[in-house]
């Protein structure tokens, strides 16, 4: 099912890639935000997982250029991970990457990972605080909660664009936060993300323009497994619109898909092929209580059923 859906949107490769900002200086695209945050003293530490020596060398060059401390450690993936393309590699070797200005923070993070922090809630909380995530967001995540639970199924949800974490995935750089905010109105997350956005504007104006443009676009989302849960970042399906809302109507010129990066995820909740075909053909959405009606000009061509975790409308605002 996933392959069929993705194929319908991948006829034009450029169209499917438009959600990813490309820059030769930052080949490991999902690391851009955190590297800039560390450079500007907005976060103390960044940790990532990469699967190749080429990406190691790419990140090493970036860190050298920005006077950041770079370290890494290799490990073999488990047999279970071999079936997950996010956490495995062809030769079974992965690399934990550490970037900071403080070598002591890297030592602390390595120690926690070596002890198996995922089995200890206290260590896991300390680990996330080391990364500079707001403490309220860390505690909320450990309680199994998600900001996505705030989104209402039958209304137009308005969220601050700088807290928009719905264009995500392991390799995505269409976001300012690499963590789950406890709320879309979280003051600490808002303050941090605004500062990161200003740092990006100073260091990478092209990337800033991309984010300013893309994070404000209207969205229609489907949450996998019928509820927000761990793994959301790799299983959320988002449809992005080149258009604007006015009086409950979304008029648009184009649609862009943002499918899970992890192709091994078995989606239990996603738009049907008919939904996607209609969205491509249409240019207007009329918002009804139980349905989203898709129009081509004034002709109704399809209805998309709205459920608790299906076809949730988002309008990122200032």
Per DSSP, the three-state class of 158 is strand
What DSSP character marks residue 131? T
What DSSP character marks residue 305? E
Predicted confidence at residue 258, as pLDDT, reads 78
Domain boundaries along the sequence of the chain: 2-21+135-317, 44-131
- Mean pLDDT per 10-residue segment, the chain (318 residues): 47 43 51 90 90 85 91 71 41 83 93 66 75 91 83 90 80 78 93 95 89 91 64 73 90 85 70 92 92 95 92 90
Q: Where are the beta strands (DSSP E) in the chain?
A: 45-50, 69-76, 93-100, 156-160, 219-222, 237-246, 249-258, 284-287, 291-296, 299-305, 312-317
What pTM did the predictor assign? 0.83
Structure tokens at 33: 């935000």
Structure tokens at 17: 């890639």
Predicted confidence at residue 141, as pLDDT, reads 83
| Distance of alpha carbon 300 from alpha carbon 288, whole angstroms | 13
Structure tokens at 255: 């649609």
Distances (CA, A) of 50 to 75, 170, 223, 230, 283: 11, 10, 26, 20, 40
Phi, psi of 74 (to 5 degrees): -85, 160
Predicted confidence at residue 1, as pLDDT, reads 43
What DSSP character marks residue 268? S
Contact 268, 261 (CB under 8 A): no
């Amino acid at each position: 099912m996933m392959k069929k859906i993705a194929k319908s949107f991948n006829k034009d490769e450029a169209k499917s890639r438009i959600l990813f900002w490309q820059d030769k200086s930052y080949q490991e695209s999902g690391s851009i935000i955190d590297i800039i945050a560390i450079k500007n003293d907005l976060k103390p530490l960044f940790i990532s997982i990469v699967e190749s020596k080429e990406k190691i060398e790419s990140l090493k060059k970036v860190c050298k250029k920005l006077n950041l401390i770079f370290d890494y450690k290799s490990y073999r993936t488990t047999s279970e991970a071999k079936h997950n393309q996010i956490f495995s590699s062809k030769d079974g070797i992965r690399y934990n990457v550490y970037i900071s200005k403080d070598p002591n923070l890297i030592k602390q993070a390595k120690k926690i990972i070596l002890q198996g922090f995922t089995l200890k809630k206290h260590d896991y909380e300390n680990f996330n605080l080391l990364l500079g995530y707001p403490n309220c967001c860390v505690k909320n995540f450990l309680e199994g909660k998600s900001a996505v639970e705030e989104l209402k199924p039958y209304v137009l949800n308005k969220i601050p664009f700088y807290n928009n974490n719905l264009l995500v995935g392991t390799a995505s750089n269409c976001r300012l936060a690499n963590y789950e905010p406890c709320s879309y109105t979280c003051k600490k997350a808002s303050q941090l993300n605004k500062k990161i956005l200003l740092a990006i504007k100073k260091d990478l104006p092209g990337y800033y323009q991309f984010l300013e443009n893309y994070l404000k676009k209207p969205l229609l989302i489907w949450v996998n497994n019928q509820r927000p849960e761990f793994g959301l970042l790799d299983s959320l399906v988002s449809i992005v619109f080149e258009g604007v809302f006015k009086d409950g109507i979304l008029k648009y010129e184009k649609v862009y898909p943002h499918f899970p990066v992890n192709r091994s995820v078995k989606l239990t909740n996603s738009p049907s092929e008919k939904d996607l075909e209609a969205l491509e053909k249409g240019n207007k959405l009329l918002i009804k209580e139980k349905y989203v009606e898709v129009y081509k000009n004034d002709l109704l061509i399809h209805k998309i059923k709205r459920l608790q975790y299906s076809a949730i409308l988002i309008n990122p605002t200032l």
